């Protein structure tokens, strides 16, 4: 019996483990999805009619947990430079899942949004500590460079030829609905939909957790009031309306 795996993200190590549980004529056939328009990074689907199905599912689940943990580890390492509390990305992803449910995102969109939350600031890897951690006022050129971290992050992923869908989202997550954002000054539906969601998530989490560049932090209620004021200005009204329907006190239970 043939076992077929349809995947765009299974590593050779994982495939080797899966193949090892089959013997004789049960040789797996691996089909890689090469079509970039499919936009399916990270999606794993297995079809099998075999006694080994439970073993294969266990291997895939373990691989997925390791994969996700590595993403969070990268995010915590990036955040640690600015003394942002560990676990910030997990917090954002938890809220993203709930907004995704309200907005009825399909599974692949949600995967891209979650991993964009985790990698949103990866461009800061190419911003020096002299600028990123500067305690005095930034010069104009330093401020422009700092603002470019979203674009830098997108270019970094493209250089490595990984996750083009995430690159698009993080490149525009500091754009504002009214065109007052950066780095391109996009407005309205010129901004990718997932980028508009990520902006709301990023601003909420930044406002309600400690940051080196300010004293104190906003309460959840103050952040929500700010969203009401900026609905249709900095933020997409549809996404703000979705945010207002979730029980943020129940979902956001981390004291970050």
Question: Which residues, including other chains, have CB under 8 Å from residue 120's CB and lie 6 or more apart?
Answer: 150, 153, 170, 173, 198, 202
Evaluate whether residue 69 is within a structural domain.
Answer: no
> Are residues 146 and 247 part of one domain?
yes
> Are residues 194 and 156 part of one domain?
yes
> Are residues 20 and 94 part of one domain?
no
Evaluate whether residue 65 is within a structural domain.
Answer: no
Question: Can you tell me the mean pLDDT for 114-139?
Answer: 92
Tally of CA atoms within 13 A in the half-sphere of 45 that contains its CB: 10
Domain count, the chain: 2
> Are residues 207 and 146 part of one domain?
yes
Write down the pLDDT at residue 37. 46
Predicted confidence (pLDDT) at residue 43 exceeds the cutoff of 50: no
Evaluate whether residue 50 is within a structural domain.
Answer: yes
Evaluate whether residue 73 is within a structural domain.
Answer: no
Average pLDDT, the chain: 83
Evaluate whether residue 256 is within a structural domain.
Answer: no
Q: Please, where are the H alpha helices in 106-235?
A: 107-119, 129-132, 140-147, 149-159, 164-171, 193-207, 220-230
Write down the pLDDT at residue 18. 67
> Are residues 246 and 183 part of one domain?
yes
> Are residues 129 and 38 part of one domain?
no
> Residues 85-111: pLDDT tens digits?
888 999 999 999 999 999 999 888 998
Place of tokens 């698009």: 168
> Are residues 197 and 119 part of one domain?
yes
Among the listed residues 215, 179, 214, 174, the one whose alpha carbon sits nearest the alpha carbon of residue 198: 174
Write down the pLDDT at residue 58. 78
Write down the pLDDT at residue 153. 96
* Dihedral sign from CA coordinates of 230, 236, 240, 243: negative
> Residues 44-78: pLDDT tens digits?
455 554 556 677 677 777 777 887 888 899 999 99
Residue 24 CB-density burial (10 A; 0-12 exposed, 13-18 middle, 19+ buried): exposed
- Please report, to the nearest 10 degrees, the dihedral formed by the alpha carbons of residues 44, 45, 50, 54 taken in order: 50
> Are residues 112 and 218 part of one domain?
yes
How many whole angstroms separate alpha carbon 239 and alpha carbon 252?
17
Helix and strand numbers (H, E) in the chain are 12, 3
How many whole angstroms separate alpha carbon 213 and alpha carbon 187?
27
Predicted confidence (pLDDT) at residue 31 exceeds the cutoff of 90: no
* Dihedral sign from CA coordinates of 162, 163, 165, 167: negative
Predicted confidence (pLDDT) at residue 215 exceeds the cutoff of 80: no
Predicted confidence (pLDDT) at residue 25 exceeds the cutoff of 90: no
> Are residues 201 and 106 part of one domain?
yes
Whether 115 and 93 have beta carbons less than 8 Å apart is answered as no
> Are residues 165 and 131 part of one domain?
yes
> Are residues 180 and 101 part of one domain?
yes
Write down the pLDDT at residue 121. 94
Evaluate whether residue 68 is within a structural domain.
Answer: no
Residue 202 belongs to domain with CATH number: 1.10.3210.10
Write down the pLDDT at residue 168. 95
> What is the pLDDT confidence band of residue 144, given thresholds at 50, 70 and 90?
very high
Evaluate whether residue 70 is within a structural domain.
Answer: no
Evaluate whether residue 105 is within a structural domain.
Answer: yes
Domain range enclosing 128: 81-251
Q: What are phi and psi of 4, to 5 degrees?
A: -115, 135
Write down the pLDDT at residue 223. 92
Strand residues in 17-104 grouped as ranges (E)? 28-32, 44-47
Using alpha carbons, list the distances in angstroms from residue 43 to 58, 108, 110: 16, 7, 11
> Are residues 85 and 56 part of one domain?
no
């Amino acid at each position: 019996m043939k076992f077929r795996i349809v995947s765009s993200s299974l590593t050779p190590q994982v495939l080797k483990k899966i193949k090892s549980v089959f013997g004789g004529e049960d040789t797996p056939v691996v089909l890689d999805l090469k079509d970039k328009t499919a936009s399916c990074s990270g999606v794993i689907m297995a079809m099998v009619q075999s006694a080994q199905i439970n073993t294969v599912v266990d291997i895939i689940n373990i691989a997925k947990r390791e994969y996700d943990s590595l993403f969070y580890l990268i995010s915590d390492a990036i955040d640690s430079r600015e003394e942002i509390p560990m676990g910030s990305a997990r917090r954002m992803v938890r809220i993203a899942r709930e907004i995704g449910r309200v907005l009825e995102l399909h599974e692949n969109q949600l995967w891209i949004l979650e991993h964009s939350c985790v990698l949103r600031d990866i461009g800061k890897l190419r911003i020096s500590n002299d600028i990123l951690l500067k305690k005095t006022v930034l010069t104009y050129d330093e401020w422009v460079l700092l603002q470019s971290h979203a674009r830098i992050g997108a270019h970094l992923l493209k250089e490595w030829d990984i996750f083009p869908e995430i690159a698009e989202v993080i490149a525009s997550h500091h754009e504002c609905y009214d065109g007052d954002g950066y780095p391109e000054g996009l407005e309205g539906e010129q901004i990718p939909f997932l980028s508009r969601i990520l902006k709301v998530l990023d601003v909420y989490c930044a406002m309600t957790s400690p940051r080196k560049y300010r004293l104190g932090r906003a309460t959840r209620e103050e952040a929500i009031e700010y969203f009401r004021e900026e609905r249709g200005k900095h933020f997409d009204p549809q996404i703000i309306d979705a945010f207002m329907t979730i029980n943020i006190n129940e979902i956001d239970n981390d004291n970050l």
